[in-house]
Chains A and B, each alone.
Chain A
């Protein structure tokens, strides 16, 4: 904690690259969160069960990482990385289901909205589950790099 505060003070006024890195991570999850809300409340796509599980990981990240920015707290990785990892695993599983690599009969979401229902294909191949996987992958990468850099 002491270290962090010193670090923070020494860079007051100018932007610390570590802060910027975490800020970019926050932008990704905040963007993803508002995007997912856009899909369900504006475009009225009903979210499937797996989407909900991914949201459970995604939404708190906006607050956890946002809080970690003021003052910059490298300990944020401790809380943010498990959530990101959980979201990433769910998103990966979702993509395997969606692309049919895991047969749909094994999916846990036969009740309610199908997790393999196709709602959106940007540029012909970017689906909603893929967007989620990309966001979680980028976020995990940023958190790992941030952790290394702030340790150094």
Chain B
């Protein structure tokens, strides 16, 4: 009797774990509304900065490098997508700091996030990008003076950039980027679909197609 109870409890625990794990994974994949069950985490990690409505079904994942000119050029399109499809689009930022020294800028960006000024700082860095990059190399000493413009506590920022969590975020994003075949920035995925061919027009078309698929027009 006791043995049966005990064994039964063990089976229930193990079975419960497996079922709950399955349920959680399915639910998460469904919530994101896209992507193969096994891969969803590769696109969006819990640590990833996300903009846009929580209910949005279209995820634009952008693998970006703060020092990359094309990334800066594409930034306005992100805002445009949010404006054009309010509540239906989310922007996810992933890091692919391929330029030399760009990981240091990502550290600043993540430290700014701790102060709740992530998106302003990202915009600021893009806006002044030409001032702190030269010949595709980051001039870090030119980044710091810019930061007070968005009201960042620079002293705090200097300690926060050393947070080992940030290094892990960068590492994870680089690993995910590799897994997804991101070799150039920006690397876009709309609901898991890679942007192919690259360009502003194809990106707009891809977003539009995904909006139509996720929000079929009612007639």
Contacts and interface: CB of A to CB of B under 8 A. Distances in A.
A26 B5 CA distance: 12
Contacts of B1: 13-15
B179 to A, nearest CB: 15
Interface string B5-46: 110011001101100110011000000000000000100001
A111 interface: yes
Interface size class of B (residues with CB under 8 A): 10 to 19
Nearest to B5: A23
A70 B164 contact: no
Nearest to B22: A42
A6 interface: no
A38 B20 contact: yes
Interface string A13-49: 1110001000100110011001001100111110000
Given A42-B25, A44-B41, A114 B6 contact: no
Interface in A52-110: 66, 69-70
A90 B96 CA distance: 39
A111 B10 CA distance: 36
A37 B17 CA distance: 9
7 contacts: A27-B9, A30-B9, A34-B13, A38-B21, A42-B20, A43-B24, A114-B165
6 closest pairs, A vs B, by CB? A42-B21, A34-B17, A34-B13, A42-B24, A30-B13, A27-B9
Given A13-B1, A15-B5, A66-B6, 11 more contacts: A23-B2, A26-B6, A34-B17, A38-B20, A41-B21, A42-B21, A42-B25, A69-B6, A70-B3, A112-B165, A114-B165
